[in-house]
Chains A and B, each alone.
Chain A
Amino acid sequence: MQAKTAAKTKHKSISYSKYGYFFIAPFFITFLIFGLYPILFTFKTSVTDAVGWEKVLNNNIIGFENFRQLFDPSSLVYSKFWGALGNTIIIWFFNFVPQLGLALILASWFTDSRLRLKAQGFFKVTIFMPNIITAATIGMLFMSFFAYPIGPVNTFIQTASISNAPVEYFRSVAWSRGLISFIQWWMWCGNTMIIMIAGISGINPSLFEAALVDGCTSRQTFWKITLPLIKPILVYNLTTSLVGGLTMFDIPHMMTQGNPNETTNTVARFIYMQGFTGSRNFNMASAASVVLFGIIIIGSLLIRYLLNDHDPKPAKAGKGGK
């Protein structure tokens, strides 16, 4: 006991900050092995001729041939890759716009001190619930809901006399894409809403009180106070949603397998099909991953740029910005 106290007094200036590194070390070690290494390996594989498992480690560097094919309209993979990107963006757009809109409305209702909604906990949990079910399960669920020619939905529309014949939903482009968008929206809306609520709760209540005293309507409060002040949260949400949306895989893979006619084939599914079916074209799958990586970075920067303040304030500019 005495010795310890002595040591403490002796090194009074000791810095405990190094212990912080111990605490973050597990993450970084795991990340380096399971995150960074595969990423670098993907970059390397993208410039090789690695086709088939045998060549994953023993391959030759062939330069940017794989990338040339991805960007060359006369190549086989060109239309498949860019078509898949188009599908992904369409599906993501129709998922994200309603998702953000509804999440914002719900979040502002839940945080509105004038509304004082009852049973908030119940509603929040119910809205969040779809998010805790595995995407694959939901994919299977919807697949059997909309089964053709006999399925719950088809039986319903026939008994309710909405239609005489069963509808083959998964041969219709609009239905297939729409259902995927809907599932994504339905699953992630609760999550977005919780983050929005956290963002709105972080706003200083005196601002809302001041607005109330000044006679602001709810709508004015939302547009003039809430929205501008949760901009950082919006940027975060948009960015994570962009990353999640562009790498969308499980629902389309489980539910439609890219059908009909590749209209629900997403980029991640294109990568999977290249890498893990057929002749296992790991090189092409890696190259496509790298291109997708680039697209996501550009998209994220664009969101940051568009949503950040651009008021020409000399003081801020001097600090070098955020």
Chain B
Amino acid sequence: MKKALALVLAIMMMLGCVSFASAEDAKIKLVVWSFTNELQGMIEKYYLPQHPELDIEFQIYPTDGNAYTTKVDNLLGVAEGAVSAEAPDVFTLEAAFVKHYVESDWTGDLKSIGFTDEELAGAFPVMAQIGQNAAGVQKGLSWQSTPGVLMYRASLAEKYLGVTSPEQFQEKVKDWDTFLETAEELKEKSEGAVKMVIGSGDIWNAYQYQRSQGWVVDGKLVIDDELLDFEELCKTLEQDDLTHKGGAWSEVWFAGMRGDEQTQTLCYFLPTWGLHYTLKPHCAEGADAPGLTEDDIKALSDEKGGTYGDWRLVDGPVAYSWGGTWMGINAQKAATWDDAKKAAVHDLIYNFSLNEDWLVQYAKDSGDFVGSATAVKTILDNGGTPNPFLGGQDHYAIFASAAALANGSLMSEYDDTINGLWNDYVTTPYTKGEKDLDTCLAEFKTAVAAAITTITVE
């Protein structure tokens, strides 16, 4: 008897679910995958309130240990998996692997869901280029752009180099030869106390944009001549004791940002996010505590002899980009979408990457440097953003010129692997004087050939 009752109840519950689900059918269901909650936060705060017709399911997998890419690869690599309910409609792509996905068939052409050339023209070229495959099909769009600049300490520049304005300093670092000369001059004038950069590895993110061709051209590994110059530059920096010999993200890297006596450092190569999320929270001991306001950080820096207000931005030797997050669509699932869903996805991605009104508002709220050139222009026209951390300099103006100049076409799907191998097999052993360049290059080529069997290595 009890069993029968339980069965009836169970059936009723199931029916209840079904009827509930059919009532929800009117909503457009979207699955969005990402590796941080940044996009989810933006959508929930700014977008969903205006779009009650959307039912968005968020999935967040961390990028640590490739968890995110493995999850995506596992599902999209199998035809049944790619169209399953679990699979994403929209997923975000990080700079480290965006090329891998836009070159694959798994990401869809954004024009297929209604993007027009006029709309796409609003994006910064460097971010648009990275979101394209080799054939120039636009598959990813970014809500931010991440141009990189050179950040230097005005007080040190004035004391040792007699430089009083960013324009003068730019002359001191206008290309890599001048950069090296300035480093030598700094060493001499400061008697070795102040170094140009923390480590030679610090300049890689910028220097790779100096190349005239990417790592792989027509299926062949290419070692651009600029890379050999890069090695010589790094070796000189290392051997002449022009750096603190530290790596990025190491303790000494942050110590230099704080301006500690032992690790005085003049220059950092950092992009947009590096200013707000790396440099500022480390301008003084304890400045990275959560919940500090701008004034708190300034007070803390004044009290502890930090570097708040001492930083200035210049273009540096080369315009580059570092980082970024692109939104892409799952091509296999997109093929099954009806027009309403295509329009909904188009509107979602458009809003966060190119919608000028929203981006201007978002930039004001967050201080982020957004991905649309037209939105940035509007912000600059509205009087810009003088930044007390930079002694009143307008970071938006400098970033805008770097964003307009950086060349995103050098990036390839192999960069993540090959950059790692280049550092392990060439830059580190060569600059530390452990091996000669030819040995390093030969070992590097073997390593690339063993890791990537789909390209030719000569």
Contact = CB atoms under 8 A, between A and B. Distances in A.
A282 to B, nearest CB: 11
Nearest to A261: B429
Contacts of B70: 276
Interface stretch (B132-140, B352-360, B444-452): B444-452
Contact of B78 (A52, A57, A77, A260): A57
Nearest to B451: A278
Contacts of A279: 451-455
A214 to B, nearest CB: 58
Contacts of B450: 76-77, 80, 274
Interface stretch (A32-40, A116-124, A142-150, A222-230): A142-150
A195 interface: no
A281 B104 CA distance: 16
Nearest to A56: B77
Nearest to B104: A54
Interface residues of A, number: 30
B251 A151 contact: yes
B252 interface: yes
Contact of A274 (B255, B432, B451): B451
A153 B124 CA distance: 46
Nearest to B251: A150
A273 interface: yes
Contacts of B454: 51-52, 279
B432 A277 contact: no
Interface stretch (B6-14, B242-250, B362-370, B396-404): B242-250
Contact-residue bracket for chain B: 35 or more
A111 interface: no
A144 B417 contact: no
B433 to A, nearest CB: 11
A42 interface: no
A277 B66 CA distance: 10
Interface string B50-87: 00000000000000001000100110111000000000
Given A151-B251, A257-B424, A273 B451 contact: yes
Contact of A150 (B263, B420, B443, B455): B263
Contacts of A201: none
B205 interface: no
Contacts of A8: none
B451 A150 contact: no
A144 B451 contact: no
B451 A54 contact: no
A131 B416 CA distance: 34
B428 interface: yes
B451 A147 contact: no
Interface in B403-451: 414, 416-417, 420, 424, 428-429, 432, 434, 443, 446-451
A150 B262 CA distance: 10
Contacts of A144: 251
A53 interface: yes
B245 A51 contact: no
A281 B73 contact: no
A96 to B, nearest CB: 27
Contact of A259 (B244, B424, B453): B424
Contacts of B252: 147, 149-150
A121 to B, nearest CB: 36
Interface string B250-269: 11100100000011000000
A256 to B, nearest CB: 10
A44 interface: no
A52 to B, nearest CB: 7
B446 A278 contact: no
B244 A149 contact: yes
Contacts of A257: 424
A149 B77 contact: no
B19 to A, nearest CB: 35
A171 interface: yes
Contacts, number: 75
Interface of A is mostly: loop
A237 B76 CA distance: 42
B77 A54 contact: yes
A51 B448 CA distance: 15
A51 B255 CA distance: 44
Nearest to B70: A276
Given A51-B454, A76-B450, A276 B66 contact: yes
Contact of A277 (B104, B417, B455): B417
B103 to A, nearest CB: 11
Given A148-B245, A277-B417, A278-B417, A76 B255 contact: no
Nearest to B418: A278
A281 B449 CA distance: 11
Contacts of B447: 80
Contact of A278 (B251, B424, B452): B452
Contact of B428 (A80, A259, A273, A276): A259
Contacts of A281: 451, 453
B255 A150 contact: yes
Contacts of A51: 453-454
Contacts of A149: 244-246, 252
B263 A76 contact: no
Given A147-B251, A149-B246, A260 B429 contact: yes
Interface in A251-293: 257-261, 273-274, 276-279, 281, 284
Contact of B246 (A54, A57, A76, A150): A150
Contacts of B424: 257-259
A80 B77 CA distance: 29
A145 to B, nearest CB: 11
Contacts of B262: 150
Contacts of B416: 277
Contacts of A148: 245-246, 250
A279 B103 CA distance: 13
A260 B425 CA distance: 9
Contacts of B77: 53-54, 56-57
Nearest to B75: A53
| Candidate in B70, B424, B450, B451 with the most chain A CB atoms within 10 angstroms | B450
B446 A76 contact: yes
A165 B263 CA distance: 15
A148 B244 CA distance: 10
Contacts of A76: 446, 449-450
Shortest Cβ-Cβ A-B pairs, 10 listed: A278-B451, A53-B77, A278-B452, A279-B452, A76-B450, A279-B454, A53-B73, A150-B252, A278-B417, A150-B251
Given A53-B76, A277-B420, 12 more contacts: A51-B453, A53-B77, A147-B252, A150-B252, A150-B262, A151-B251, A171-B432, A261-B429, A261-B434, A277-B417, A278-B414, A281-B453
Interface of B: 66, 70, 73-74, 76-78, 104, 244-246, 250-252, 255, 262-263, 414, 416-417, 420, 424, 428-429, 432, 434, 443, 446-455
14 contacts: A51-B454, A53-B77, A54-B104, A56-B78, A76-B446, A147-B252, A149-B246, A150-B250, A259-B428, A260-B434, A261-B434, A276-B66, A278-B448, A279-B452
